[in-house]
Structure 1
């Protein structure tokens, strides 16, 4: 039947957009994966399975709800699950969080440009910010098309790092354990002392920063089946990239400890030319994620492609440039990201409760349409 058909092009574009959205400066520079997974050694690879389970389940649900409810504003999903009062709190928290991560990612872009090209961090931060602003002004639809193409490119680059690490690993299986011992000896700071909890926390972090975006992707799909497929493909692909990066960081542990941008150090070890290419593409990757966060933040206050939207975008970009150019990137990741993860746990509790209520009502033949709360929040 037509309602069950899946458009492969749409699946690839939107799943690519999900990957591009999640692979921001924290991931592209290697800091997120290093602090959430690599610091746990080989157990960090197992932790990715915990991440996959949590994130896949939540993403499937959000994409499905986005497709079925067609919210006027994707932030209304918080009212849908949490009610008006708590939902409004989560809306504002999500907006503030997205903007804070926007600033963190600007800092990551500046750190990348500074590490490889020697250009002052504030100059690099300003460059990324201006690119993001120009893209945001184009609107959400154009943004998805742009980052939908960039997502697979990011995955390919990370895969190259992983393959380059796996080749020597096949000859010397002990490289992973050697990297793990080097990490313990260096005393690097991890997000959590428990490897399983680190994997779960990262899933909660990714969820909290992407709820409205995932809802928007689901709403843009042709039907529920396509929305679910987009969610699965996007998260499974992203998880594969995490695994590849953990392996690359463990194998190259001695050369990345203390580095603001671990992936750039690994790429440079493979080849100076590849390091140069990788530095440029990291900047592109950061730009796409920063653009997405800026759009999702401003959409709370105005409809895209309007004068109000453009004015707010300019103001928030200028503020982000000022703070992103002076804040220490690695310390921001270690403080801000775990906090976001913990807040998502409560939201998942609301999601589970709501979905169980809907299933029980459906089982007893009652109506599952509950749009009053969402309408009241408009």
Structure 2
């Protein structure tokens, strides 16, 4: 392969891996798209574009930085941008947040399997935990290969809901205006009182939990241009999923009132078979995100595929499975998420400062 050749398969795998990483249980169920975007009506679609612009810039920078610097440990990116002291604070905060979300997802996975398949919750949590552990033990490259394929599958399934909504809208165009006026008054939870801030907050929440992962993906690319293409493509795919899901939730808004899993309610209405496939998709979404989050936590302490890595990964998984059934995670998330959003905005400011400084130095 020549110096200037772009490996298209690698670009799609790395883009798919990012989409799969972001599409966890909250997004696959439709709750994130509902609370951060759809609840604001048509403005929620504009929010999806705001997310694309912010995250497009961020992934371009982070994937490129990962490829150029090839950090020995992906968490080194925090010191790279913020300096030693603040960098260490970010490292431990990010680590805590990612592990907490890992446990939240395990608990959510157990509840999902219990709800759809009538298996005991602890059994569902254990099954997803063990599958995620097995995937993480294969190492970062294998994980990217696996979830890089799963990512586009998730996007396609979520796009079906949006496409079904668009086709329904084609015959009854007044539905969008009707939904636009109805959505804010139906009792749905909203992430913020303002649609624009909600979109910005969602972008920075996505940033703070994916910084080490994006750096790892960038390092896996063969060259900087390839890495940046993958980052942008993954962000476009995810933003498209947001917008299509928002349209679907607006068009089918009567179906999703008081529904914990909006996507499943819509999918069942479109087709019982699609409903069944969506129940599987949600479990797969949780599994792939859990495996990615676990690997990112353990990579702080050990290189993948080593004995030390395997032991730490196993212990953290066992602790996660145990805690998944006893800690009130709604309170934990309520405390961690707002702080996460603000801390990510500060980190982004440091990123931009460092990148601009390096460009000025390079010109001089």
Fold agreement, TM-score > 0.5: yes
2:318 is aligned to: 318
1:88 is aligned to: 88
Equivalences for residues 163-242 of structure 1 within 5 A: 163-242=163-242
1:115 deviates by: 3.0
Q: Residues of 2 paired with 1:354 and 1:112: CA distance?
A: 43
Report if the CA contact (8 A) 2:141-2:220 is conserved.
Answer: no
1:88 deviates by: 0.7
Change (3 A) 1:55 1:36: same
Q: Residues of 1 paired with 2:191 and 2:331: CA distance?
A: 11
Change (3 A) 1:346 1:46: same
1:131 counterpart SS class: helix
Report if the CA contact (8 A) 2:40-2:184 is conserved.
Answer: no
2:126 is aligned to: 126
1:4 counterpart SS class: coil
- Return the TM-score normalized by structure 1: 0.91
CA-to-partner distance for each residue in 1:123-163, whole Å, 9 max, x for gaps? Answer: 32222111111111111111111101101100110011111
Q: Residues of 1 paired with 2:262 and 2:60: CA distance?
A: 32
2:15 is aligned to: 15
Equivalences for residues 274-293 of structure 1 within 5 A: 274-293=274-293
1:335 deviates by: 5.2
1:34 is aligned to: 34
Q: Residues of 2 paired with 1:254 and 1:330: CA distance?
A: 26
Give unpaired runs (5+ residues) of structure 2.
Answer: none
Report if the CA contact (8 A) 2:113-2:119 is conserved.
Answer: yes
Change (3 A) 1:268 1:134: same
Q: Residues of 1 paired with 2:85 and 2:281: CA distance?
A: 42
Equivalences for residues 1-378 of structure 1 within 5 A: 2-326=2-326, 336-364=336-364
1:258 deviates by: 2.6
Of stretches 259-268 and 145-154 in structure 1, the one that deviates more from structure 2 is: 259-268
1:144 counterpart SS class: helix
Q: Residues of 1 paired with 2:81 and 2:123: CA distance?
A: 42
Q: Residues of 1 paired with 2:327 and 2:185: CA distance?
A: 27
2:245 counterpart SS class: helix
Q: Residues of 2 paired with 1:328 and 1:28: CA distance?
A: 22
Q: Residues of 2 paired with 1:183 and 1:225: CA distance?
A: 42
